[in-house]
Structure 1
Amino acid sequence: MATARPGLISRLVLLNPGCGLEPTPDLAAFGAQEDRLLEAGEVEAALVVSGGHDLPYFQQPARHLAAELASVTAVHLGWAGHLPSMERPEEITALILGRLTESPANGATPRLPVHRSRPEHPELVVQP
């Protein structure tokens, strides 16, 4: 809307905006490699994080990946929007580091700093 009707916008901040441009060669290569790894089943363990206040457009892929990947921990942060790493950077850093440092071989579930602000969706809070 900002580019189609700039007269309606007086101030605008965009973080990592997507606006329908063709992907650059580096982005296309990244996406192709990501798809190859997922399709080949070469992802040993994944952490999929979604925000309770994010758009359904971003929540749906998180649910899909959580259902399709073999070894996944799905975390739905009821308090989060689209950028939880900006909203609560310390918690997200701890979440990521906890997942990266756990050993998938021992079957341990990381201790995740999850806040249940939307208990009506308990199935999405933590699913080891």
Structure 2
Amino acid sequence: MTLSHDLAGAGPSTVLLLHSGVCDRRMWDGQFQALADAGHRVVRCDLRGFGDSPMDAPHTHADDVRDLLDHLGVERAAVVGASFGGRIALELAVRHPGHVSALALLGSDVPGLTPSAELEAWGEREDELLDAGDLDAAVELNVDTWLGPEAGPEARALVREMQRHAFEVQLAAPEEFDPAEPEVGADDLAGIEVPALVVTGAHDHPDFRAVADDLTRVLPGARRVDLDWAGHLPALERPDETARLLATFLAETMSHRAA
């Protein structure tokens, strides 16, 4: 299966946008065309089990993304990942390094993250609500947790819609179609040598701020940006500002490659 995706722009460089675990490719509405206008060929996709990509077989997300790039004839892409999408971007860079030219990681998760007691309790609460069939409450739990104070009603409504759809698709799929967890660890991340932008928000959960600390230390080519206004999903909280941040990083990355 080829992941559902959109294309924009016709520049010489390709940018791939990977959504968070509470969203689908629509989370990039504020950056998709802006990055195309900045001179890039932009791809945004729905990971399997999200948006328009069905959860129809056993799979590994990073391999699905590799297959999409191959389908599009893309040799290398700068990969932008938000939260769960950041984890998939890191797994892609480890498993298929020739496909990745740069990484931009926004509130990124990492492979093998051990959650704090607080985050583990949050996950248990989400599981309780889903087991009880209370999707409305599980959706609101996610909306309230992952969107920062800058998120307006439109962003909250969109996350509400995207998260509910993801729950419905994933809960309906048999367990054997759950994604495989590739064996990628901290030592593997240290071998990623492409330029990396690590973005964190002052209002994000402490676990993900700690992840940003670790990534900044572990990734050889990492640069850290702290956003004092952001929560976990800056792309939805201040779309235009996030688009400018990404465009600047990508322009700098291209200029370094050309030098």
Per the alignment, residue 64 of structure 1 pairs with 214
- Alpha-carbon distance, 1:71 to partner: 1.9
Secondary structure in 2 aligned to 1:9?
helix
Aligned pairs, number: 101
Q: Does 2:209 align with 1:82?
A: no
Correspondent of 2:189 among 31, 35, 38: 38
Q: Does 2:232 align with 1:104?
A: no
Q: How far does the alpha carbon of each residue in 1:71-124 deviate from its partner, in whole angstroms, 9 at most, with x for none?
A: 2210111100011000111111111121112133699xxxxxxxxxxxxxxxxx
Secondary structure in 2 aligned to 1:74?
strand
Per the alignment, residue 179 of structure 2 pairs with 24
Unaligned runs of 5+ in 2: 1-124, 141-159, 168-174
Unaligned runs of 5+ in 1: 108-128
Change (3 A) 1:71 1:106: farther
- Alpha-carbon distance, 1:10 to partner: 9.1
- Alpha-carbon distance, 1:50 to partner: 0.5
- Alpha-carbon distance, 1:36 to partner: 8.2
Distance, in Å, in 1 between the alignment partners of 2:136 and 2:194 is 47
When normalised by structure 1's length, the TM-score is: 0.58
Percentage identity across aligned positions? 30
RMSD of aligned residue pairs (Cα, Å): 3.9
Give the residue type in structure 2 aligned to 1:104: H
When normalised by structure 2's length, the TM-score is: 0.32
Correspondent of 1:9 among 137, 155, 162: 137
Distance, in Å, in 2 between the alignment partners of 1:10 and 1:92 is 27
Give the residue type in structure 1 aligned to 2:179: T
Q: Where is the strand percentage greater, Structure 1 or Structure 2? A: 2
Q: Which moved more, 1:7-16 or 1:79-88?
A: 7-16
Distance, in Å, in 2 between the alignment partners of 1:101 and 1:8 is 41
Distance, in Å, in 2 between the alignment partners of 1:23 and 1:8 is 23
Distance, in Å, in 2 between the alignment partners of 1:10 and 1:23 is 20
Q: How far does the alpha carbon of each residue in 1:29-74 deviate from its partner, in whole angstroms, 9 at most, with x for none?
A: 5x84x978624x2332100000110101111111110112222210
